[in-house]
Amino acid sequence: LAKTTQPISMDSYEGQEVNITCSHNNIATNDYITWYQQFPSQGPRFIIQGYKTKVTNEVASLFIPADRKSSTLSLPRVSLSDTAVYYCLVGLYNFNKFYFGSGTKLNVKP
Amino acid sequence: EAGVAQSPRYKIIEKRQSVAFWCNPISGHATLYWYQQILGQGPKLLIQFQNNGVVDDSQLPKDRFSAERLKGVDSTLKIQPAKLEDSAVYLCASSWAGTGTTNTGELFFGEGSRLTVL
């Protein structure tokens, strides 16, 4: 299994762009990279997924370098409501298994 | 579209007692997961079902935990007997992927069942 490493926590201010990097040195050829967001007392929620290069949706962007050994979740102009824990997953997608790491606790300040 | 339903939301029991959690996945979702989330940690996969068959239960403490998925739809997770360290939120998730397909990674989670063992 590809283990992921993320910063334990990050602080930001409203309106700033936030970049959270995840390291996954042992990622397999068929693995996709998926990010989830979790608010207190709620289950995780899917944010974005990618395989290589860049993916963008209405919520975030995901940057993946050519070697795929890391990925960066970019949240544009964060607000207080983006305060949450963000998880990076690299799963055995061919076998449909998803393991969460410890996540990054993002604290957005006014 | 209805989301993943879980019950009960909260449960308090004493150690050595038993408890059961129920999950109803999103209609049509073939894959169902049970995760355990201890306060301050990421969710830990306990068991994964594909329809009514088990795909992965490598992290399920089988001496005390059991799970079943009846007719490939609803699922029940049971703990017997409970220990203090079982205090956690038990999350159920589902995804659409069925047998022979690749799961894209979008899991839909319920709100969880919070267990406190005294």
Residue A45 contacts B, CB cutoff 8 Å: yes
Tell me the pLDDT of chain A averaged across its residues. 90
Q: Which of A 81-100 lie inside 8 A of B, CB atoms? A: 85, 87, 89, 91, 93-100
Q: Are strands B108-109 and B5-7 parallel, antiparallel or unpaired?
A: unpaired
Residue B108 neighbours by CB under 8 Å, 6+ apart: A46, B3, B4, B25, B26, B29, B93, B94, B95
Q: Distance between CA A32 and CA B62 in Å, rounded?
A: 30
Q: Are strands A61-64 and A33-38 parallel, antiparallel or unpaired?
A: unpaired
Q: Distance between CA B107 and CA A47 in Å, rounded?
A: 10
Helix (H, G, I), strand (E, B) or coil at B93: strand
Residue B37 neighbours by CB under 8 Å, 6+ apart: B43, B44, B88, B89, B90, B91, B112
Preceding amide of B25 cis, omega within 30: no
Q: Distance between CA B25 and CA B31 in Å, rounded?
A: 9
Mean pLDDT by 10 residues, chain B (118 residues): 92 97 93 94 92 90 94 94 97 77 74 97
Helix, strand, coil: what percent of chain A each, to 5?
5, 50, 45
Task: Give percent of chain A with pLDDT exceeding 70.
Answer: 93
Could you tell me which chain B residue has the CA closest to the CA of A105? B40
Task: Give percent of chain A with pLDDT exceeding 90.
Answer: 69
Q: Distance between CA A3 and CA A101 in Å, rounded?
A: 8
Check: CB of residue A48 under 8 Å from CB of residue A34. yes
CA-based nearest distance B41→chain A, Å: 6
**C-alpha dihedral sign at A87, A91, A97, A101:** negative
Task: State both tokens at B36.
Answer: 């355990």
Could you tell me which chain B residue has the CA closest to the CA of A42? B111
Element of type H or E holding A13: strand A9-13
pLDDT (tens digit, 9 = 90+) per residue, A16-67? 999 999 999 988 888 888 999 999 989 999 999 898 889 999 999 999 999 9
